[in-house]
Amino acid sequence: MPATLKDVAREAGVNISTASRALNNAFGINVDTRKHVIKVAARLNYRPNQVARGLVTGRSNSLGLLISDIRNPFFAELARGAEDAAFNAGCDLVLCNSDQNAEKQMRYVEFLLAKRVGGIVMNSVTPLDEDQQDRLRAAGVPIVLLNVSSADRHSPAWRFSSVVADNLYGGEIAAKYLIGLGHKNIVHIAGPRTHGAFSDRASAFLKVFRENGLPKPRVVFGEHTFGAAYQSTKQLLGTDRNITAIFAGNDVIAFGCMRALMESGIRIPEDVSILGFDNVEMTQITSPPLTTIDQPKYETGKAAVEILLNMISKDGVREPEHRIIGVHLIERQSCRKISGAAVQDRRTAKR
């Protein structure tokens, strides 16, 4: 049988409370006593029972990371940052994948709460309704959200911390870049309309065109997956061959667009320019390499866990903290500058 705290205390000749405080480096324990207890614990190969400790303290030494799509390489880099931060703090990280399913997402939240995790980093599939917010607040567990719109962050009623990319600035960058290249017939293929990050990117993107008196780009909302983007692009090409540029809501969407364009015999960037968002590693090896908006993914995961740990250290009693991660353009070969003549209907040009 594995050694227990009671075994360590008996072997060290101290009571259980002293043994526990010595092993946890608590205040008020004599240095020699602490060294003696630690030496005995090592000889007995004692390992703390984290489950039992969770029952006593009301929370475990684990943190939850709930993401929406484990297939998206964006989340792989984000999870690495979160895991490193948790590991350095001596915590375990429990990874859950909602598959972009709101019901599955809340089931995982209940699962993590039942496991008495110390806190949850969550990339919400859909905006949390009032009942869900009340449920999370009542649980007394610190929550850091990764998908919060600017409207939610500035709402006086919002009570959760967040870490997000500067999606408003990212949308502006995308619009100004494509306008600067001479594009006018532009389509923005976004993610879900209710998704905080995608809605902010889309609103900022459209705002630049509106403020400059330019034609409003068409916006297509849908799932932020490769397959959904592929189908959306195929449908667009069936109705409008005058498109000269596509701003994809993320890189995975951009990959789906690129596949559909190539299958249709449309060259990138000679016929249609593609601009992504995220700068995942695969953007460097697509053909052509993808121009995209970079957001620091590792740093996002790391920052979310750091905020969570800070809240836990204060028993979660603190004002929400909102951290915005900067973004910038990574220019590669998937976009090109066009002239007025290049904007002609390509169906006519091929006759």
Is cis: bond before 156, omega within 30 of 0?
no
Each as own residue / partner, the long-range contacts of residues 7-15 (CB below 8 Å, 24 or more positions apart, any chain) are 7/44, 7/46, 8/37, 8/40, 8/41, 8/44, 8/46, 11/40, 11/43, 11/44, 12/36, 12/37, 12/40
**Amino acid at residue number 45:** N
Q: Which long-range contacts (CB under 8 A, 24 or more apart) does 260-267 make?
A: 260/229, 260/230, 260/231, 260/233, 260/234, 261/233, 261/237, 264/234, 264/237, 266/237, 266/346
pLDDT by residue (tens digit) across 129-181? 778 888 888 778 889 999 888 877 777 767 889 999 999 999 999 999 999 99
Cβ neighbour number for residue 184 with a 10 Å cutoff: 16
SS3 336: coil
- For CATH 1.10.260.40, list the domain ranges present in the chain: 5-48
Measured between its terminal Cα atoms, the distance across the chain in Å is 82
Strands of 245-248's sheet in order across: 218-220, 186-189, 245-248, 273-278, 291-294, 328-330
- pLDDT band per the 50, 70, 90 thresholds, residue 121: very high
pLDDT digits (tens, 9 = 90+) for 236-263: 998 877 899 999 999 999 999 999 999 9
Dump pLDDT digits (tens) for 218-229: 999 988 889 999
Task: Give the C-alpha separation, 62 to 251, whole Å.
Answer: 31
Strand 161-165 and strand 218-220: pairing?
Answer: unpaired
- Tell me the residue ranges of DSSP E strands in the chain: 62-67, 92-97, 119-122, 143-145, 161-165, 186-189, 218-220, 245-248, 273-278, 291-294, 322-325, 328-330
Q: How far apart are CA 123 and CA 283, in angstroms?
A: 23
Which two tokens mark 213? 């008196």
Integer Cα distance of 62 and 67 in angstroms:
16
Q: What is the pLDDT of residue 147?
A: 82
Share of the chain above pLDDT 90, in %: 53
What CATH number is given for 58-166+296-325 in this structure?
A: 3.40.50.2300
Q: Which ranges constitute the DSSP H helices of 294-340?
A: 297-313
Q: Which CATH superfamily is domain 5-48 in?
A: lambda repressor-like DNA-binding domains (1.10.260.40)
Calculate what percentage of the chain has a pLDDT beyond 70.
91
Mean per-residue pLDDT, 28-36: 88
Band of pLDDT at residue 341, cut at 50, 70 and 90 = very low
pLDDT for the residue numbered 59: 53
CATH architecture of the domain formed by 167-295+331-349: 3-Layer(aba) Sandwich (3.40)
Distances (CA, A) of 251 to 149, 179, 197, 284, 300: 20, 20, 14, 11, 17
List every span in the chain annotated with CATH 3.40.50.2300. Answer: 58-166+296-325, 167-295+331-349
